[in-house]
């Protein structure tokens, strides 16, 4: 009987030993070098505004083409602006704590006019796209350059400010907008210094008087009112611009630099 108990205890010990977990270690995989990554950039036709990034490397890929990042194996983006762009990428590998970064460039041959023709304000603000500089209409025949009035007014009507009474030091500032590689916005101050940003067309302002196209300035630049960054336009042609604070009553009058009434 004692011998049988011994056998049972011995079998139990063997069973417990068989259930002991075995740790399996796997050495981390070595990260590839940048020139070993298989990344392709496809534009069909060449130079088109639609660009496809493809990663054929067993890695998690982060793309960055200047507007953000993503981590899909294939990314298709659309850029309406002509220019040369730099794709930045970061690859992460399974079993490795390292990463690899690199860059590739690609070129978009021409602006996509079909995109900019969807809203006339793109080209009206930018002289057709090549660039337009706007300055305060100091010599406007109405005698005023700012004030307020109904949201649809073309000229100040309620409260008006003449060039002499305008109490800000911005009357000689210049605003230049173009579509050269981006929707560029540059403000030149009276002392000759400049600040650059971008602009974008936003939803029109609509009231009982009609529909008024609108835009915003990005990058923290504002004019001529300190709090304004969005605007709707009540009048624009090759030489004149009547600009409202978006959905508000403040209005300022601009003209093309070099234009004389």
Please give the DSSP secondary-structure letter assigned to residue 4: H
Mean per-residue pLDDT of the chain: 84
pLDDT in tens, 64-73: 877 677 788 8
Predicted confidence at residue 167, as pLDDT, reads 65
Predicted confidence at residue 170, as pLDDT, reads 74
Predicted confidence at residue 97, as pLDDT, reads 65
Strand partners of residue 146: 161, 252
The parts of the chain modelled with pLDDT lower than 70 are: 1-32, 34, 67, 95-97, 167, 169
- 235 neighbors 241 (Cβ within 8 angstroms): yes
Residue whose C-alpha is closest to residue 248's, from 158, 126, 184:
158
User: Is the pTM above the cut of 0.75?
Assistant: no
In angstroms, the CA 157 to CA 251 distance is 10
Predicted confidence at residue 228, as pLDDT, reads 84
Burial 101-139 (b: 16+ CB within 10 A, else e): eeeeebebeebbeeebeeeebbbbbbbebeebbbbbbee
pLDDT in tens, 204-225: 999 999 999 999 999 888 888 8
């Amino acid at each position: 009987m004692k011998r049988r108990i011994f056998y049972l205890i011995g079998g139990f010990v063997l069973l417990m030993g068989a259930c002991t977990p075995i740790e399996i270690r796997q050495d981390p995989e070595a990260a590839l070098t940048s020139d070993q990554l298989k990344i392709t950039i496809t534009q069909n036709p060449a130079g088109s505004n639609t660009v496809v990034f493809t990663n054929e490397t067993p890695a998690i890929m982060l793309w960055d083409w200047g507007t953000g990042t993503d981590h899909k194996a294939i990314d298709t983006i659309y850029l309406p602006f002509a220019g040369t762009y730099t794709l930045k990428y970061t690859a992460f590998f399974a079993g490795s704590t390292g990463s690899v970064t690199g860059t590739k460039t690609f070129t978009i041959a021409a602006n996509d006019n079909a995109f900019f023709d969807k809203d006339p304000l793109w080209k009206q603000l930018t002289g057709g796209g090549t660039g337009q500089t706007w300055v305060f209409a100091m010599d406007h025949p109405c005698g005023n350059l700012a004030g307020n009035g109904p949201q649809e007014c073309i000229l100040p009507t309620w409260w008006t400010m003449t060039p002499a009474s305008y109490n800000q030091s911005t009357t000689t500032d210049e605003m230049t907008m173009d579509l050269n590689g981006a929707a560029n916005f540059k403000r030149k101050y009276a002392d000759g210094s400049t600040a650059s940003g971008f602009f974008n067309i936003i939803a029109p302002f609509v009231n009982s008087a009609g529909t008024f196209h609108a835009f915003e300035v990005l990058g923290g630049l504002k004019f001529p009112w300190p709090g304004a960054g969005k605007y709707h336009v009540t009048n624009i042609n090759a030489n004149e611009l009547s600009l409202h604070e978006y959905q508000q009553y403040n209005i300022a009058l601009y003209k093309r630099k070099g234009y004389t009434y």
